[in-house]
Amino acid sequence: HEGGTPNLLGATALAAACDALDATDAAVLQQHEQALVQRLRSGLSALPRVRLPRIWADSTEGVGIVAFTVDGIAPADVAAYLSAVHGIGVRDGRFCAHPLLARLNLPAAVRASVGLGSCTADVDRLVAAVAELPA
């Protein structure tokens, strides 16, 4: 026997989520995600202190992830600020991709992700919060 109480609610929720995903057209999901990624990239790149590191700048395919840095502010401080002040969860660090960040000459970065549960208001809120970062 496995110790502890089985997470029946979690298993039921996961099954319902899988059913919902299965009933949704994958092309619609991909279009939604890519529209959010483009909105996030556009919004962040319009901010003067923000850099969007990419290996292939002309790549149009990808996943719902946007990495960025803010001039003069450590990625850990950006993530802490977004969480504490705005309740926005992002990841900072090297993302288990040390060789990639080394290739980009970055000690670390901030990573934001979007997907099925994200909407344009979420993206706009993140961009506005990054714009408000203290110098």
Residues taking part in catalysis:
96
Who contacts 3 (Cβ-Cβ below 8 Å, separation ≥6)? none
Round to the nearest angstrom and report the end-to-end CA distance of the chain: 55
Strand order in the sheet with 109-113: 50-51, 65-70, 109-113, 91-93
Sign of CA dihedral 20, 13, 18, 29: positive
Q: How far apart are CA 8 and CA 13, in angstroms?
A: 8
